[in-house]
Structure 1
Amino acid sequence: MEIEAPRSGVYYNARLDPKNYLEGPLSHNAATRLRQMLARPGIVCAPGICDGISARVALEAGFDCLYQSGAATTASRLGQPDVAIATLNDFVGAAQMVCSLQPSVPVIADADTGFGGPANVARTVKQYVSAGVAGMHIEDQVQTKRCGHLMGKQVVSREEFLTRIRAAVIARDSIPGGSDFVIIGRTDSAQVLGMDEAVTRLKLAADAGADVCFIEGVKTEELLRSTVAALAPKPVLVNVISGGLTPSFTTQEAERMGAKIIIFSLVSSVAMVHAVRDAMRSLKKTGTDFTSARGMDPKAFFEVMGLNEVIELDARAGGSAFQVV
């Protein structure tokens, strides 16, 4: 297999060349599988999950990649807005649970700003890898960051952003035995410094070793197409939040525009607010949850959470705890 030499001064790891992931069955290792999905035809659609219930339902629906949204994690674990309140421990704890549900399914996780300087970024990478995360994105906002679809964002200098990317790459490459962990460089600078600066930052991030480029807040189809063209052959991730800065592109539309990954960050969280709000209002008004349950009894609920797998495991191991449930 011939692999082209990289441009001078540009990060290159021959082991991680996309050509190495074009053939063969999909790996049971989530990070390797994500690289295979990125190297092969078709867009990767990753719905945003916020907890174990939303992750289970996404898997039940047949999604082959999940996205652990920072905003959704902050909301579900802390009941707080996405304004730099959650810590690395919050994110890692959520990731450990989600990645354990179906370990071969890749989980892409938000890592905010990396939670500090280069040493913190490196620690974040190693803890995410240990948790089973397949890839993470790291951004160029200041430490007191906010959701990328809120106004008033501030970003660090190009060099500080690139320091974060380099630290993540160094940490990944230092893992014994080699890791396929995917590093996604994200910029929020389009709304602050303009699209030209955003594209420049992502080009530099790619040169520093980012495997995927994530431009937040792409406002038109034309801008997404031009961004994809400018960053080629690096894959581009687009984030769609209903009512946010980016139009509500469908997965099929984003693929036609050249995007390789599309995430729907708040799909589960917003749906959950509507559903739970309706259920609570109904309970308050009627004094019963019969209507909102829609016929789902406890057993049916637990089956969504993996009850049948637990019963099967117990029986195969010779147990008898769940002969009747």
Structure 2
Amino acid sequence: MAAVKKLREMLADREKIIVGPGVYDGLTARMAIQAGFDALYMTGAGTSMSKLGMADLGLATMTEMADQAGMIASLDWRVPLIADADTGYGGALSVGRTVARYMAGGVAAMHLEDQVVNKRCGHLAGKQVVSREEYKSRIRAAVNMRAQLEGDIVLIARTDALQPLGLDEALLRLQDAVELGVDVVFLEAIETREQIETYCRVFRDKGVPIMYGMVQGTNAVKITVAEAQQMGIKILVYAALCLIPTYLAVTQALRHLKQEGDCEQYGPGISPPLVFGVCGMNELLEFDRQAGE
């Protein structure tokens, strides 16, 4: 509850923009926390690739996603986690179960989308979405489960309808979700500045917090944090921020070891204890020492 409360306080702060680097495992989450970010974003694509070794084509199950989100959320409650919950993994009952699991794991916010259950990464072509009524059923189930549990989680409505159905339909779906009780809207895969300006104008004027996703190497409109804040965007996430640099650096190190038989140049001044320290080694040792007194 403490993480959700902190996130809601940040959402209520008119001067604040929430910037969430895309993390996908314990190490990337720890590095983002050490870097000083005050919120994290768990990317579904990164989780699928790191946890399953498979591309983001809807193969990660609710249990796998919820377990990973709960682990990341537990690392530091002072840094709220916003997590991908895909489609909710089924019908209304499955959506309700997903909300309950994310809440139990201490996740501060989750976004729920309108793709078909066999979904794919939001920045891939050929996406299919469910009907508006079916999406409303998912949103209603999420809102009802939150109320039934008498707890809290920030609910984010994401739509992928822009690509297959156009901007007007996408905005209508988000408006429906707001009327049903979600807290934040998220229009995925915006490709023109005109689209993002319309999206922001519609919901900014209604006082609804707006989320935007930046993904390197895609057709998504590139904006800076300052530009996003000026547009009225409240949450700006960078889904591939950790994933792409990790791929580049590790691929280069592996190639050098394979070709040259040496890899010391990739770790000057970096030792395992330093990395252990990022992951809480000193705090763990101190806890163990105090328990033995």
TM-score (norm 1): 0.87
Provide structure 1 residue ranges, at least 5 long, that are not aligned to the other structure: 1-27, 320-325
Give the match for residue 155 of structure 1: 129
Give the match for residue 39 of structure 2: 65
How far apart, CA to CA, are the structure 2 residues paired with 1:137 and 1:98? Answer: 16
How far apart, CA to CA, are the structure 1 residues paired with 2:122 and 2:225? Answer: 20
How far apart, CA to CA, are the structure 1 residues paired with 2:189 and 2:230? Answer: 18
How far apart, CA to CA, are the structure 2 residues paired with 1:270 and 1:314? Answer: 36
Amino acid at match of 1:120: S
How far apart, CA to CA, are the structure 1 residues paired with 2:151 and 2:183? Answer: 13
Deviation at 1:225, TM superposition (A): 2.1
Deviation at 1:314, TM superposition (A): 1.9
For the pair 1:307 / 2:281, whether they are aligned, the reply is yes
Deviation at 1:226, TM superposition (A): 1.6
> Does the aligned pair in 2 maintain the 1:70–1:82 contact within 8 Å?
yes
Amino acid at match of 1:153: K
Amino acid at match of 2:39: C
Deviation at 1:96, TM superposition (A): 1.9
**Of 155, 159, 165, the match for 1:183:** 155
Deviation at 1:279, TM superposition (A): 1.0
Give the match for residue 244 of structure 2: 270
Amino acid at match of 1:33: K
How far apart, CA to CA, are the structure 2 residues paired with 1:76 and 1:249? Answer: 27
For the pair 1:215 / 2:187, whether they are aligned, the reply is yes
Give the match for residue 2 of structure 2: 29
Query: Any idea what the Cα deviations from partners look like across 1:233-264, whole Å, max 9, x if unmatched?
Result: 11110000012231221211111111110110
Deviation at 1:316, TM superposition (A): 2.5
> Does the aligned pair in 2 maintain the 1:225–1:258 contact within 8 Å?
no
Coordinate RMSD, CA, aligned:
1.2
> Does the aligned pair in 2 maintain the 1:165–1:185 contact within 8 Å?
yes
Deviation at 1:222, TM superposition (A): 2.8
For the pair 1:128 / 2:102, whether they are aligned, the reply is yes
**Of 241, 261, 265, the match for 1:291:** 265
Bigger mean CA deviation after superposition, 298-307 or 153-162: 298-307
- Partner secondary structure for residue 155 of structure 1: coil
- Partner secondary structure for residue 156 of structure 1: coil
How far apart, CA to CA, are the structure 2 residues paired with 1:61 and 1:280? Answer: 26
Query: Which runs of 4 or more aligned residues in structure 1 lie more than 4 Å from their structure 2 counterparts after TM superposition?
Result: none
Deviation at 1:185, TM superposition (A): 0.4
Deviation at 1:220, TM superposition (A): 2.5
Give the match for residue 144 of structure 2: 170
Query: Any idea what the Cα deviations from partners look like across 1:286-315, whole Å, max 9, x if unmatched?
Result: 222211122211211111111111122122
**Of 81, 98, 108, the match for 2:82:** 108
Deviation at 1:103, TM superposition (A): 1.8
Aligned pairs (5 A) from 1:76-115: 76-115=50-89
> Does the aligned pair in 2 maintain the 1:109–1:135 contact within 8 Å?
yes
Amino acid at match of 2:5: T
**Of 190, 193, 200, the match for 1:228:** 200
Deviation at 1:199, TM superposition (A): 0.7
Give the match for residue 177 of structure 2: 205
> Does the aligned pair in 1 maintain the 2:103–2:152 contact within 8 Å?
no
How far apart, CA to CA, are the structure 2 residues paired with 1:136 and 1:196? Answer: 24
Amino acid at match of 2:219: L
> Does the aligned pair in 2 maintain the 1:221–1:257 contact within 8 Å?
no
Deviation at 1:69, TM superposition (A): 0.7
TM-score (norm 2): 0.96
Amino acid at match of 1:194: G
